[in-house]
Chains A and B, each alone.
Chain A
């Protein structure tokens, strides 16, 4: 049985700012339900007494010292921007912070 409804797909797509056509929505209802079903499969295992894995890497405490290094020059930083004025990255006007 499908664990995911079309509304769920639309909600998640909305959060990810994706617009999906009807066919894609249908397909994702199936695919996402399958993923959740597989999680149920994992839940069949007895994991009591097993430490939860908090991170995929088995290393910790990797830091940099607080030392300033070179930054990009501004021209390079702005090089790939769709739009800039030579100082700032330009984006469509942000309305809801005025």
Chain B
């Protein structure tokens, strides 16, 4: 039987406010354990949480970017459960009236565009971090993370392949980074993705029993976990069994999902309205203010790159894939470089160096101004494009100014016609065979002779002038 997979995603994102969602403690991830804590986030009795305005505004901004309806009237609720990641035995979240609901996001795959429905995006607090390396009998609890603002974004079961899930997560992360609401660092847990996965016979409407895959450390891990679940669930069904509704973990090393039995059998959270926090009312004026303050989003920026810089759609897409790269490109252009060479140097040579050294653009020593200066040295004929590649490597390693590198290493290209003409005569004299071949109509021999010229100039011959002079010299042989 042919099956299709049905996936819904739940993404938790830590929002980059300076202070926590209900108290004034810092959200700094790198602080020593239990130093960003106060009676409120420690869950002491009798304290009064107050909602961080920054969290409300960030949530509305994300909701608008995801084409959601913003609730005029929203409230916080208590989700009750016992676990040593929350001292007060409930998490403050939103239940029946989330701040944002009924939106969508577009993904592109193999040239087709598809809309993924967004069910809701709601505000909640992150929980404490449990540490299991302390001893055999005990676990440690660090409340620094408890109360960090957390946004949960839930999709409709609209995703039909592991690749679509990967594309959705990539686009969502891109959007969140453009909105500047989260660093989306998966290693530090500021973005966590869970997939609800079921399969059903192709052509049927009814959903199959789903499993929920949690604790996956990367988007490609999510993609692999979904592909694994498709095979596993199909096997279960084809052997006449039934899929068990459960939470499963992902073992990246073995490439398998595994059952995570939970002690608490029933998930009965007994939500009720949080009496300590008052309703959130986002009126039209407030929503409008937030809408007007939204930055340029990826799709608009890609279009603008095509229109204003005459870039091809593919190049505009690559450059706007991350906000950091798009900002960098525009800074290089602002510093005086032509858009096309700027795009090529960033996408090809610089990107290759970043990949090779496993570095992020943000940490790169090549400043936008120095890259623009390097492109300027090519434009004014000081160095050839070939030499520039070596200069860029030096800039990447040392962060030095391209002009200084060129001067120090004597890389200025030879554009002196008389000097090049002399070299051309020497090259022709030493290569009678190829010259004869060229005269006999073998164009390939010309390339060889150019190579000899570049060798003689240690690569510093101005390629265009070398070409012209060589043709000229050959015509006179």
Contacts and interface: CB of A to CB of B under 8 A. Distances in A.
Interface residues of A, number: 38
Nearest to B144: A71
What's the interface size class on B, roughly? 35 or more
A78 interface: yes
B273 interface: yes
21 contacts: A54-B273, A55-B278, A66-B18, A67-B19, A68-B26, A69-B25, A71-B26, A72-B38, A77-B37, A83-B138, A88-B134, A90-B139, A90-B141, A91-B84, A93-B135, A93-B136, A93-B137, A95-B263, A96-B261, A96-B262, A97-B132
Contact of B24 (A60, A67, A78, A94): A67
A93 B132 CA distance: 7
A74 interface: yes
Contacts of B266: 15
B129 to A, nearest CB: 9
A7 interface: no
B338 interface: no
Give chain A's interface secondary structure class. Answer: loop
B35 A71 contact: yes
B130 A97 contact: yes
Give chain B's interface secondary structure class. Answer: loop
B25 A90 contact: no
B255 interface: no
Contacts of A90: 134, 138-141
Interface string A21-62: 000000000000000000000000000000000111101111
B365 interface: no
Interface of A: 15, 17, 54-57, 59-74, 77-78, 83, 85, 87-98
Contacts of A91: 84, 138-141
Contact of A61 (B137, B139, B263, B278): B278
Contacts of A92: 137-139
Contacts of A60: 278-281
Contact of A98 (B18, B75, B132, B279): B132
A89 B17 contact: no
B281 A64 contact: no
Nearest to B26: A68
